[in-house]
Amino acid sequence: MAKEPSASKQQIEKFLNDKDNVKYHYNNHEDFHYKIPTGSLNLDLALNGGFTPGAHRFTGVNEGGKTSCALTVAKHFQDHFKGGGMVVYVKSEGRLSPELLNRCGVNTDPESFFKFDCNVYEKVFELIRELIHNNSEKKKYLFIIDSMDALCRVNDFNKPFEESEQVAGGALITSVFLKKVILPLTKMGHMLILTSQVRIEVATNPYASRGGPKVKQAGGNAVKHYANFICEFEERYTGDIMFTNPSATRIDDKGDPIGHYCKIRFRKSVNEKTGAQVRYPIKYGRKNGESVWVEREIIDLMKAWGYIEQKGPWLSIDEEMINKLSKKGIECPDKFQGEQKLLDFLEGNRKMKDFLYNYVKEEIIKLN
């Protein structure tokens, strides 16, 4: 016989279902838990599998990779939810190009992607709130605001140029907006990525002494409190660029650049990664969401996990891994003379690359 609910339980249920209370809480909504990969195995490993529902902040230098990373996440978001997910990209700066969308592999079908050309805080936030609360199709949304720096208040929009704007007006609106939408956005399984350049300093550790690490961001302190992850994209130096002839000692002899390392510093995290840096390789000339040089990442991670052993120039593939590949009908030599030959082999063997990529992804999930 079913146990009679306690008086306190009945009291709570009555409160939750009261018509005057229903619209003010989200206990009647199902919790959503998912992780969207980034395209980089190194970054996914640091994120414990990928980005979760809720707000995330991408900040840092110009051309650090913020937009490319956000759009690659968008591509994987669409793949994860297939027809049930939609990316809403707020283009407030005017720099988004068809080439960038193609390179990142974003599906621009109108049912999967909407570009909102708007740089007014209130209108952007009103659209997001409308899509969250009036969602009869039960779509999952990824909102990307690129960037927060380019947004202006509606009251400032019509002012003559000589009139001053309200100090911290945008930060105030952002704070109010996030306060109102962050709970329903997260609870209903949506994601929000906000990008920004440098604006104000927010200490990553409030107990650190003066001069400790700080992240500068537009939108004020509210973003620090409401974001799950704050990822700072760091400046790229010569040592981060990959060349056709990397062994040359003189920079002029290294040849043409073929890629670079994107560097991210976690300024806030939910998994004890705050302060840690992640680097992942980008290879030039690739399209359809394959700019991340995952073949190189696969080799590095398999070395770290003992599936590849290097002695001098020779790289030996673990016998267990050779057997796993063989069962999938994939032939692979057990030794390679030099990492470049293994890299070339992976790049020329899509079936093996896909198998190892998925295998490493499964190992990342197990670790978390």
Confidence (pLDDT) at 222: 66
Q: Using a pLDDT cut of 90, give the percent of the chain over it.
A: 75
Over residues 304-309, the mean pLDDT reads 94
Given the candidates 3.40.228.10, 3.40.50.300, 3.90.1010.10, 1.10.10.10, the CATH classification of the domain at 27-292 is: 3.40.50.300
Confidence (pLDDT) at 171: 81
CA-nearest of 204, 120, 214 to 169 is 120
Question: For the purposes of burial, counting CB atoms within 10 Å of the CB of 58, is it exposed (0-12), middle (13-18) or buried (19 or more)?
Answer: buried
Distance, in Å, from the CA atom of 142 to the CA atom of 69, rounded to the nearest integer, reads: 13
Distance, in Å, from the CA atom of 288 to the CA atom of 335, rounded to the nearest integer, reads: 31
HEC string for 265-320: EEEECCCCCCCCEEEEEEECCCCCCCCECHHHHHHHHHHHCCCEEEECCEEEECHH
Consecutive H or E run containing 361? helix 350-367
Show the CA angle centred on residue 53, arms to residues 142 and 15, nearest 5°. 115
On the question of pLDDT at 200 being above 50, the answer is no
Confidence (pLDDT) at 198: 59
- Residue 200 or 177, more confident: 177
Distance, in Å, from the CA atom of 17 to the CA atom of 9, rounded to the nearest integer, reads: 12
Q: What is the pTM of this model?
A: 0.90
Q: Using a pLDDT cut of 70, give the percent of the chain over it.
A: 91
316 near 335, Cβ under 8 Å?
yes
- CA 119 to chain CA centroid, Å, is 22
HSE at residue 109, side-chain half, CA atoms within 13 A, is: 11
Classify the phi-psi angles of 338: left when phi > 0, otherwise alpha if psi is within -120 to 50, otherwise beta: left
Over residues 47-64, the mean pLDDT reads 94
First to last CA, the chain: 40
**Extents of the domains making up the chain:** 27-292, 296-367
Confidence (pLDDT) at 165: 67
Give me the chain's average pLDDT, please: 90
Confidence (pLDDT) at 311: 94
